[in-house]
Structure 1
């Protein structure tokens, strides 16, 4: 009975809702909701990976979206060169993300605080401008992917339902992996280093190597999201790894609840659903007040979303997940 809390019930309902999205889409013929929630599930994977280093490790990276771009571009470039096998594309993309995370993390993790934030941002912008300069692969205009990853007929990524459930399984696997990491001896060291790295070194733990390993794992998981995003949109561009996308991932983690395994999933759903629904709601309110359609009002949805996020940060320090936990405690 202890598991039947308000938080657990609502989180379970959210996961069930995500699992039944394809069923609802087929029953209603609503294709858009399938596309929207496929994107939400993919970006939730990226947010969960960021939360691993930021929420549990105290490493606030402002360049995490770089791994979205690296994973996506690895798929796009190989497809452009005629290599469509997912058995080649996906491992190459994940290895590229791991190597980039290893190289940049080895330098970034020697800094702390705002310096760490700025150096991760600098590395992300560096890889962003590399993408802009790739004339063979579309440069700033991006690269169209004409065929999705092929797994020799074992799984058809062109089928929307199949692809959605693949993304959903990847999200659940990512959450489970993060949960296992956080509750392992390795995870305890990471959380201990967040609080006091000097003390962790003093009692014999090589905190730097632990943190670097965690950083690489987070980069690889985000690279997986980049692979899925490239296959969903059939398109990659430097915008995938711009610093504003990293900001979106941070907002998802903070809104849902840092330091909670499923918090970023809640944040991703809340943020992206609000982005889609707020313009229509503002337009409806404007039409109700003025008595005529107010198209321009829909352009100012961010003026409503901003204060909402600010209220969450000020009064729900643990995000939505933390707020649900406070309700349980009364």
Structure 2
């Protein structure tokens, strides 16, 4: 009934395997290069790939453009920061608080936002995102506009202390693998088929008896929870929680990662996060006007490949 979704299982999966081998070897490569910068950058890529993979469920499979998903990244970051501020360093407790709070926020916001369509959905998610951004700015007891430094990084027993960069990196990589596996399973299940069906032809899906709100709300909440975990990891990476994590620009960057890598593909968000962050790092080292180069480059990719970088690879490998 619906076209097969693009996924990481290309006819020759050597490229996906090579990417994962490179990710697994990053701590060793950074040690060999004698610089921890590359490991920090790789961790940042993995963390944003988690958030982008969550958004991809809503954007890539559901066709819903959310300009407010950075608010869930902020919830995860501030859950870690505020808990540490009050002496709670238990990472499991922090994660439980962050996920519970994100669910409490995502369900009503999703119910309200999903009553709208198209531009209305974009604008209402943007409005909700900005509301929470200004809420974070108003938290003067927790740094306000200056942000909140983490008193100590989370303790996630029996995982090694997250002060170690390799431990944090492998934890983020394990979370990314779980999120991508869940995305692959969802894409090939009835849930993913229904989401793509509503994206393609809502009227026909409603006539077939499918409940639009139920499926799209589930996708919205699941994507919010993935972004929340990414925010918790980001706070532990930077040892900081900032209102900028909730800004509409941060939401826009997540959308760029999904579009650049390939909407509706499992590997796309990882490829998009890597491409965007590496391009930003390289171009900013060349000129202070690097945004003037990055913008046209992204437009060029969008024009040449409707399904992004990973979609272009799969098309060359023989996928439809």
Q: Using the TM superposition, name which of 41-50 and 25-34 deviates more.
A: 25-34
Q: TM-score, normalised by structure 2?
A: 0.94
Q: Give the whole-Å Cα distance in 1 for the aligned partners of 2:153 and 2:210.
A: 44
Alignment correspondent of 1:53 = 58
**Cross-structure match for 1:310:** 299
Q: Which has the higher contact order (CA 8 A, sep 6+)?
A: 2
After superposition, what is the alpha-carbon deviation per residue over 1:239-279, rounded to whole angstroms, capped at 9, x for unaligned?
00100001111111001000101101001001101111123
Residue in 2 that maps onto 1:290: none
Whether 2:132 is the aligned partner of 1:127: answer: yes
Contact 2:10 2:314 in 1 (8 A): no
Q: Give the TM-score normalised by the residue count of structure 1.
A: 0.91
* Equivalence map 1:103-122=2 (5 Å): 103-122=108-127
How far apart are 1:33 and its partner, in Å? Answer: 0.2
Q: RMSD over aligned Cα, in angstroms?
A: 1.4
Paired positions, count: 311
Checking the alignment, whether the CA contact within 8 Å between 2:10 and 2:317 is kept in structure 1 is no
Structure 2 CA distance for aligned equivalents of residues 5 and 19 of structure 1: 23
Please give the per-residue CA displacement for 1:195-238, whole angstroms capped at 9, x wherever unaligned. 22232222222121111011100000110000000111110010
Report the Cα offset of residue 194 of structure 1: 1.4
Per the alignment, residue 323 of structure 1 pairs with 312
Runs of 4+ in 1 over 4 A off after TM superposition: 3-6
Among candidates 275, 289, 293, match of residue 300 of structure 1? 289
1:14 aligned to 8, 19, 28, which one?
A: 19
Tell me the alpha carbon deviations over residues 74-133 of structure 1, each in whole angstroms, 9 at most, x when there is no partner. Answer: 111111111111121111101111111111000000000000000000000000000000
Q: CA deviation at 1:5?
A: 4.7
Q: Tell me, what secondary structure is at the counterpart of 1:58?
A: coil
Gaps (5+ residues) in structure 1? 283-297
Give the match's secondary structure for 2:21.
Answer: helix
Deviation of the 1:326 alpha carbon: 2.6
**Which residue of the partner structure matches residue 166 of structure 1?**
171
For the residues of structure 1 that align with 2:193 and 2:227, how far apart are their CA atoms? Answer: 22
Structure 2 unmatched ranges of 5 or more: 1-8
Cα deviations by residue, 1:162-193 (Å, 9 ceiling, x for unpaired): 11000001011100011111111122111111
How much has 1:4 moved relative to structure 2?
A: 7.2
**2:37 aligned counterpart, secondary structure:** helix
User: How do residues 1-330 of structure 1 correspond to structure 2 at under 5 angstroms?
Assistant: 5=11, 8-280=13-285, 282=286, 298-329=287-318
> How much has 1:153 moved relative to structure 2?
4.9
Distance of 1:4 and 1:306 partners within structure 2: 29
